[in-house]
Amino acid sequence: MFVFWNQAKNVKRKDNPIKLMRQCGQCNKSAMFFECEKTDEFKLYGAIALKFDRTTVMQCGECLAVYKAEDDPDVQKHMEHRKQAEDAAQAKESERAEAERRREEAKRQEEIRKKEAKKQKEIDDELADLKRELGQ
């Protein structure tokens, strides 16, 4: 029986990554480290994923060595700050959407009120016409 499997490790730089100057342990240079996402895949026959794992890592800008992001407290601080900023932006967007929903609801209620007033006016006019006809 023939079994074909492959293991892939990809490192991709994130959009708007965290950037820190650090001393690299592998190349011993002071380099800029960038936040990246590392994906580990283990596939059977190249299609069936048996294992898939994503990890946030910091990559050396000089030698491309990777280190776990959770090992560095400065990175954790930057990640927490970014998460707070994202949460604040999400809360602001949620408030904006709620205000828009309220405006739309008020507009809809006003339209309903106008339609009802118009209908009531038509009924009142018709009633006045009938009274006039009966009064003659």
| Model confidence pLDDT, tens digit, residues 10-46 | 788 888 888 888 888 888 888 888 999 988 887 777 6
pTM of this structure: 0.55
Question: 81-90 b/e with 16+ CB inside 10 Å = b?
Answer: eeeeeeeeee
Same domain, 6 and 52: yes
Question: Domain boundary at 70, 93, 120, which?
Answer: 70
Question: Domain boundary at 70, 93, 109, which?
Answer: 70
Question: Domain boundary at 34, 52, 70, which?
Answer: 70
Same domain, 127 and 65: no
Q: For the beta carbon of residue 122, count every other beta carbon within 10 angstroms.
A: 10
Q: Which residues span the domain enclosing 130?
A: 72-136
Same domain, 51 and 83: no
pLDDT digits (tens, 9 = 90+) for 76-121: 888 888 899 999 999 999 999 999 999 999 999 999 999 999 999 9
| Residue of 67 and 109 predicted with greater confidence | 109
Give how many domains the chain has, as a whole number: 2
